[in-house]
C-alpha cells in the first residue's frame, strides 16, 4: 500500500508503507483487522450456513415430533384402551 504526501506527488515518487510495522494508538492490531475483514468478506457464507443449520434443526425436531405422534396413534392408543 503506497501513501503519498504533497511533496512526493509533485516529484512523482511513491513512498512504500510497511503495514506490519504500523502501531495503532487505539490498540487495534493488524490481526484483528484482518480477521474482521475475513468475516466481512465471508458473511454470505455464514448467513447460508446459519440458514441451513436452522432448517436442519427444524427437520430433526419435526421428524421426532411426527414419529412420536405416529407411534402414539399406532401403539399408544391401544395401550390406553387396555
Does residue 14 lie in a domain region?
A: no
Between the CA of residue 38 and those of 33, 47, 59, 61, what are the distances in Å? 9, 14, 31, 33
Does residue 53 lie in a domain region?
A: yes
Which residues are CB-neighbours of 66 under 8 A, at least 6 positions away?
A: none
How high does pLDDT run on average in the chain?
Answer: 83
pLDDT tier for residue 13 given thresholds of 50, 70 and 90:
low
Q: Which residue has the higher pLDDT, 60 or 17?
A: 60
The whole domain housing 57 covers: 25-81
Number of domains present in the structure of the chain: 1
Long-range CB contacts for residues 42-50, cutoff 8 Å, separation at least 24: none
Q: pTM above 0.75?
A: no
What are the DSSP E strand ranges found in the chain?
A: 2-3, 15-16
Does residue 67 lie in a domain region?
A: yes
Does residue 18 lie in a domain region?
A: no
Amino acid at each position: 500500500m503506497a501513501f503519498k504526501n504533497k511533496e512526493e506527488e509533485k516529484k512523482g515518487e511513491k513512498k512504500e508503507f510497511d503495514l506490519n510495522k504500523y502501531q495503532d494508538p487505539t490498540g487495534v492490531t493488524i490481526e484483528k483487522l484482518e480477521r474482521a475483514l475475513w468475516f466481512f468478506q465471508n458473511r454470505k457464507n455464514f448467513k447460508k450456513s446459519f440458514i441451513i443449520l436452522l432448517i436442519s434443526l427444524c427437520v430433526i425436531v419435526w421428524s421426532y415430533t411426527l414419529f412420536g405422534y405416529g407411534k402414539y396413534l399406532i401403539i399408544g392408543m391401544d395401550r390406553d384402551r387396555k
